[in-house]
Structure 1
């Protein structure tokens, strides 16, 4: 157990930037300062930054910007993050217990290296500079900030003959070193991010109520070549038929995923993605799907290069430093979400993190890199920046009756969708007046504390044993910031939680992380069914679902959106989890090749429906059904690598926690108002 962060017992004399400079911006040549004390408990952390900066001779903007880029100045109550980091300065201390908990076998060649890697043990290094122990810099936020400042100063002296740099730009190499990257381009990208933060400035209130500001700094012109002082690897991405499809600032690697014929006598037996030519030929790219690996970064790369694994992603993002590796070209189809109607139109991004660590937090480097990549891809392929098109794996329904219940649920409740959309430049905000017919779920992540549990079945991992992770059982995430609101059958917390019929044949929902049937996720839009004081009801999965939503503690914003209703005279309409075309679209010779029966029939979900009187938000205009077929490894089968497009049109809707489809002929459309 890690001791909680505690407030200092006394106020410190601190060095604060003059108020005028905070308003007008600072100069890179001269950063003025005056001595002051914290104005109140909400500015304690700001004062601790100023005190540590003065003590170790680190320019305050540099120290604050490094912390902002690492953690957004969050202390996270002393809790360890997914990369074994602690506190506002993200000081790391990876232990054998961490690796064991994450299922990394001691047989893995990486095990011993990780336990000894200096990059994974910056907390002990900082503690040594302070003359204290690692537990102190992990658990005491003031000491954590002092430790980060001491590390920065020690790095800077190592590159300037034992002296501290004279100007802010002289700290570029030290900031790059703080990234702990072993690759020069990644370290350079980290330092560039720190300098960008100083140029623009920042101001926010942290999850625990600390008010911190970083004044914009004018005239910054670092020598980016200083990164060479670190003596890191100059990594040249592997040669590929297609260069990395990434913004230049990310310096993406390219490591081709497996595309391999498994049986020379069976051209249909290959792994582990489909060749295509998206977005050409009508096979457009509509979605970006975010995942968590529940596996180390290196382990994920190994798995996705294993053609027998039968899964992959277009991109993988590393937690430690946000490094992005492209494994499958955008034009090709990654097998990433177990529902062809979605993944044939999606780009999949795997993020190194653990969905089961609901109370843990994702690294800020990971958030920023994924956001930069998503923003780039969305602009390139004209994908709307909303939650109907930027999906989690948990938002995609299973494609079969048995698959609906077992479909994955990552990135999980600990992924801060609101923060992610802020980084995308598309913040969740009101688009209608109070009392609107549609609401967007938007609880304040930091204060939306939920307790969830999890227990995974080890059987799913038996096929691919160590060095890959095993399983988590049991896990309890207590009172952790969460990106969902729990749903009840009545406007009372004493009422049963909502139960999805595929998850619970009888009884109520639960607080299990993977019980998505009683959780409305942040950013999704729903039609209001009723309102009571302090409560709102929405139509959710064919049921009326209640959640807490008061003026004092709002969990939604009013929204304007087009919605669908069953056509007049219909008692209910079917709901589909796929959007396959009608059988008549397939040519006779293709049907004969498929064994005489039209493939992939479009069937409604047997336990889902939309009764008359209910309404759901449409994700966009009606689209033609379609299904892409990639049959043989070499593309030689009849109609191979071809998208069959039907005449039936469907609307994609936000049905419950997940998306679904309804036939356009079954519904009327209510315009946004």
Structure 2
């Protein structure tokens, strides 16, 4: 039986004070952070503690109202959207808000939320607090249908089935992929900076009770017949619905001349699932995951995926979707760029496609296209360098050491050492990890807004931190990259490429807030224009 949670007034759920704060505090800006370690507090770019904002409060209140684990609710939202409501605009599968409440022929979490809460669908689509509350109500209804008791609901591991159901996958393998992504975030933790304030989830050990999905092999594991692509070895194989592509025999019928780069406007698992939905009427050959560059193939190379919005280009191209949203640079990780570039390089070599921007194109470049992906945050220069294997022309560069006058700051909690011969310069700084940011900051004067490679130097030692958080300040918010400082020291190590804003200020930090063990080290950083 489905329990209906009547909520005639949003203020009854969230409180009148929160409604006022939401009106001024939640503007739908992206959560510009990678999954991270931390608690429920926050820290600003300069390292001072931040007060929990209205977004965190909305999660707290919705979780309490519907007796859903708060951290589970946050992890699900982060997996779906990085906690960005995209100003009420729908995803490719007609999902809305930070929790991606969907309304399409097969996934109706938006409609379920409206029935359970009594809230207007328009509010569920556009009001962030209502959207979170609606998702909590849906998850609770799934838990009730699964027979979870109050004691069982307190155990986050018992919610795996409800999470898998929320994703609306059509096959067990994709359902497991979706739920595993949420539990992976619970394990690593989340440190998100949003316009509605910081939202944090402390890392934990998880042991999800997968039920019937426990016997389903993870995608690409090779443990299940047919899970690996026959066209591209590193890819998992999850076929799209036959209603969403055209069977063909390329290159006998059509020559493959282009690779078209897309951004999915959705999550990795959600995109794969959408291609399996017969009502989608859309597909792409490949999908790339943001966090680690994992690849899934949904349409064979020989067949014609419906991705370009132009039949001629459909017949002559391979389409690659990338997890994420065009207005959120945080989705475009170095792992994604490298994995996608390796796939594109393989396709160009296999089908004789020139490795240039006339043949490796964005969806927005297809004649008659109404789409704008991959959008302004896609780094074409870096991507093409990876595809072609070319070395970029050396550009502006600056190195900042912990002893650089006026360019390095750290609290008195950071000690100074010259113990390791792998150090950069005369010495380096160290600190114990704690559940507070207290970062050491490197300051640089960036000549112009653009794309820069950020590298770090540290001495390595078995007693140093296995998960040191480096913070990179970008125009869309802080991004965090974790480095194992037990190895790989005494040399420059790339954190990736980032958009950095022009001007003088803190650009890179090393935080003490980590679930890792061992001393956190701050030695030197190098920023180079690419």
Q: What is the TM-score of this pair, normalised by structure 1?
A: 0.40
**Which one has a bigger Cα radius of gyration?**
1
